[in-house]
Structure 1
Amino acid sequence: MDALAAAAVRGAGADELLGHPVPERYRAAHTRVEDTDMFQGVEDKDVRKSIRVGDVPMPELAPDEVLVALMASSINYNTVWSSTFDPVPTFAFLKHFGREGGWATRHDQPFHVLGSDASGVIVRTGVGVRRWQVGDRVVVTPVHVDDQEPAVQNDGMIGTSQRAWGYETNYGGLAHYAVVRASQLVPKPAHLTWEEAASTPVCAATAYRMLISERGARMKLGDVVLVWGAAGGLGAFGVQLVKQAGGVAVGVVGSGEKADLVRKLGCDVVIDRSEIGIGDPGDPGAVLKAGKRIGSIIRKETGEDPHIVFDHVGRATFGISMFVARRGGSVVTCGSSTGYQHQYDNRYLWMKLKRLIGSHGANLQEQWESNRLFDLGQVLPVLSEVYSLDGVGEAARVVQTNGHVGKIGVLCLAPEAGLGVSDQDKRDRLAAVRPPVLETKVRT
């Protein structure tokens, strides 16, 4: 660990942090351009074979950026996509970004530092940064936008410049340091550990936009909401948001362990995936039968069809989602972990006046609103396991094979789990009201 990183870990003040030089290289989990063809013709694209952990060059800081010494990060499915080079190698994104010229050229490298979640300490600020200072404890959000693009002033997610940091840009969060735009930062909640805080921005804010935001499903009090994959990263936050907003949460899970978790999170109805009998999503008859089965279960338990279906699974579930949503209801979707080519019967969309809403990430205001819910203790981190930076490949493999519940964390500079709490009284007070739902396991 270099002197600057060590000072950040110790909680040094701004003067000491500024007195240490920025290292020329730093440790990071990354993929390499020469490996992009390694999985051609391979059925099991094991991410442990493609993710490398080693030193990469430190980029120069742009005027609107900050350098963050990263204490922790977490695994999102986009790290799996990056590491399997599927559906496309992410080096194509970096090359396209680099063609913009100027500071963007730094991102076009033969390596790609991965990761779209992070927490840490600001150790340098660009000359154009106004609202953040060296020494601030922050959570890094994943939405990388150009704040001089007009559309971004309306909604950051609409801008053509919008990119997913650490997926469509370089220098992501699975590393000792990250270069991020000041517009990606929110304050770290003082009662959370580094790894808890790092597990929240991507999935929680995405779920917030999908369900609560005026740009999503606009959930209201009493709505019945079907949450696919309710024990995963997105689903676990989706369930909590439904309950906190006064809705009726119906969660679909794949095991008894996951069922226990989502009940603790507040699910009113829990459905085992095997009860539905999901078949070939390309077979209209199989989709219809599965839709009728899950619809019957939901009506039996709640007395009505779902107002909203929260779908991030994609191909395997999308036709069922479109069928089971009530007349005038909404299907809100982000991502497609089981495949992007969805098939559904369009009659159930147009003849029953349903809404299909595409949602992606969250703008900065939505990120702040989501983060505030953690600060208030109304939404809890759901962190099941924590790995070291050297164990990123194993951590990503767990997510790739759907062997996880909640989120999988990664310790970057933090020497052990449980650090980073600066308000223990608040932590104890909130835990007495809403105790943690999981015991986080530390994997060495």
Structure 2
Amino acid sequence: MDPMAEALLGGATPEQLARTPLPEEYVAAHLRVEDVEMFTGIDDKDVRKSLRVGAVPMPELAPDEVLVAVMASSINYNTVWSAIFEPLPTFSFLKRFGATGGFAGRHDLPYHVLGSDGAGVIVRVGSGVRRWRVGDHVVMSPVQVDDQEPGTHGDGMLGAEQRVWGFETNFGGLAEYTVVRASQLVPKPAHLTWEEAACITLCAGTAYRMLVSRQGACMKQGDIVLIWGATGGLGAFAVQMVKNGGGIPVGVVGSETKARALERLGCDIVINRNEIGMGEDGPPSPERTIELGRRLGKVIRERAGGDPHIVFDYIGQATFGISVFVARRGGVVVTCGSSTGYQHHFDNRYLWMNLKRIVGSHAANLQELWECLRLFDLGMLVPTLSTVYPLAEVAEATRLVQTNGHLGKVGVLCMAPEAGLGVTDPGLRARIGEERLNPLRGPGFPAAPAPGALANGHGDLVSARKA
């Protein structure tokens, strides 16, 4: 264990942390450029074969950046995309970023440290950082913007130099340390554990922009909202936001276990896609799309009293044609991703003749994320963590998400030696209640396997950090 880790886990003061030397390298989940072609011609692109866990050099800090000791992180689908090198290898992102010059050149490396979520402690600040100090407990926005670009000041997500940290940049959050810009930081909700806090920024912020923000669907009271993948990382937050906003969430899931989880989240209407004959067969034909849309629409009208005002779709190819069909006249389909494929096919007649809209949405700007995190501080939103893995087993955690075997969010302990640490407001936690804070954990729901040495094919796997 390096001196900084010892100091952090030993309860050192901010002054002591500032004096403690940093290690020259740290443990991180990363890809190697020499592996980019490893899945060529292979159908099952198993992320356990490409994801490495091992030591990487400590990067230099730019004036507007902070170094965070990552206590916990989580898996997002962009980690899956990165690890299968699709739709293109992320090393192309790093090369493009590095070509912009200056400190960006550090990112163009033969390895890529992944991860777009994280919670931890600031251990160093750049010379240009004003609002943050060593010792602050923070969570990180997944969005990195250029504050010298005009578009950023209208909406951070519209700036041409906006990038997703740990996906389009290096030094991501699935590691013991990470480098982020000061403009990515938000105070950690004090009542949450490290792993709970680490699972909220990317997915909750994205769902907030999609549903609540004026940049998204502008949900209002009484809106019927169809949510595909309603127990996934995004969907489980969407259910809560629809309920909080006075809407009627209609959640679609693929199993009885997920249906029970959705009920625990308080979803008003739960639909198992097997009810409408929608299995795991991939994108439906145009004729099948209309057939499934009619079946789904009938169920929604019977149970919710009308067609959806909003369809929340991050599934993509397998669902998008149905989403366009079932949205009501004048309704909106809001999309932020395509986990089943990027090529969407839909019958445009149902869009233009019924005056429907499609809204593209991506992550959240910093103001939206602060507003979203305030809802956690108020106890109005709760984490959707279901399972926690050690950093050494990040490949298994990512495989779980790749195969859709998870509920909600899959957490990863990085520097934290065990789950349950990091709470600094136990009073608020007690008032909200443990059961409410963890609706997707407990009896009847899948848990992570016992930690153990899992081979990743590289021989450089490290053990989980021990206290």
Q: Tell which deviates more after alignment, 387-396 or 13-22.
A: 13-22
Instruction: Indicate the residue corresponding to 1:387 in structure 2.
Output: 389
What is the identity, as a one-letter code, of the residue corresponding to 1:316?
Answer: A
C-alpha deviations, 1:36-59, integer Å up to 9, x for none? 000001110000010000010111
Instruction: Indicate the residue corresponding to 1:122 in structure 2.
Output: 122
What is the identity, as a one-letter code, of the residue corresponding to 1:420?
Answer: G
Within-5 A mapping of 1:338-353: 338-353=340-355
Question: Quick one: distance in 1 between partners of 2:358 and 2:71?
Answer: 38
Question: Quick one: distance in 2 between partners of 1:211 and 1:185?
Answer: 23
Instruction: Indicate the residue corresponding to 2:234 in structure 1.
Output: 234
Instruction: Indicate the residue corresponding to 1:181 in structure 2.
Output: 181
Contact 1:8 1:123 in 2 (8 A): no
Structure 1 unaligned regions, length at least 5: none
Instruction: Indicate the residue corresponding to 1:361 in structure 2.
Output: 363
* 1:64 matches 2:96: no
Structure 2 unaligned regions, length at least 5: 452-467
C-alpha deviations, 1:188-221, integer Å up to 9, x for none? 0111000000000000000000000000000000
* 1:333 matches 2:298: no
* 1:257 matches 2:257: yes
CA RMSD between the two structures: 1.1
Contact 1:386 1:411 in 2 (8 A): yes
What is the identity, as a one-letter code, of the residue corresponding to 1:390?
Answer: A
Give 1:119 shift.
Answer: 0.2
Give 1:281 shift.
Answer: 3.3
Give 1:433 shift.
Answer: 9.2
Question: Quick one: distance in 2 between partners of 1:136 and 1:158?
Answer: 29
Within-5 A mapping of 1:204-219: 204-219=204-219
CA pair 349-428 structure 1, distance change in 2 beyond 3 A: same
Contact 2:383 2:437 in 1 (8 A): no
Question: Quick one: distance in 1 between partners of 2:199 and 2:337?
Answer: 18
Question: Quick one: distance in 2 between partners of 1:282 and 1:161?
Answer: 36
Instruction: Indicate the residue corresponding to 1:75 in structure 2.
Output: 75
Within-5 A mapping of 1:415-434: 415-431=417-433, 434=436
Give 1:10 shift.
Answer: 2.8
Give 1:282 shift.
Answer: 5.3
Question: Quick one: distance in 1 between partners of 2:437 and 2:83?
Answer: 35
The counterpart of 1:371, out of the listed 370, 373, 379, is 373
Instruction: Indicate the residue corresponding to 1:92 in structure 2.
Output: 92
Question: Quick one: distance in 2 between partners of 1:369 and 1:36?
Answer: 39
The counterpart of 2:326, out of the listed 299, 324, 335, is 324
Contact 2:385 2:438 in 1 (8 A): no
Within-5 A mapping of 1:96-111: 96-111=96-111
Give 1:107 shift.
Answer: 0.2
C-alpha deviations, 1:148-194, integer Å up to 9, x for none? 11110111100000101000000000000000000111000111000
Instruction: Indicate the residue corresponding to 2:463 in structure 1.
Output: none
Question: Quick one: distance in 2 between partners of 1:345 and 1:316?
Answer: 14
Question: Quick one: distance in 2 between partners of 1:55 and 1:165?
Answer: 20
Give 1:249 shift.
Answer: 0.4
Question: Quick one: distance in 1 between partners of 2:238 and 2:356?
Answer: 21
Give 1:84 shift.
Answer: 0.4
Question: Quick one: distance in 2 between partners of 1:434 and 1:412?
Answer: 25
Question: Quick one: distance in 2 between partners of 1:266 and 1:282?
Answer: 30
Contact 1:225 1:242 in 2 (8 A): yes
What is the identity, as a one-letter code, of the residue corresponding to 2:369?
Answer: Q
TM-score by length of 2: 0.94
Instruction: Indicate the residue corresponding to 2:408 in structure 1.
Output: 406
1:157 alignment partner, SS class:
helix
Give 1:11 shift.
Answer: 3.0
Instruction: Indicate the residue corresponding to 2:457 in structure 1.
Output: none
CA pair 70-155 structure 1, distance change in 2 beyond 3 A: same
CA pair 435-153 structure 1, distance change in 2 beyond 3 A: closer
Question: Quick one: distance in 2 between partners of 1:237 and 1:193?
Answer: 18
Contact 1:145 1:161 in 2 (8 A): yes
Question: Quick one: distance in 1 between partners of 2:402 and 2:335?
Answer: 20
Identity %: 66
Contact 2:156 2:365 in 1 (8 A): yes
1:319 alignment partner, SS class:
helix
What is the identity, as a one-letter code, of the residue corresponding to 2:399?
Answer: R
Question: Quick one: distance in 2 between partners of 1:34 and 1:335?
Answer: 28
Contact 2:264 2:440 in 1 (8 A): no
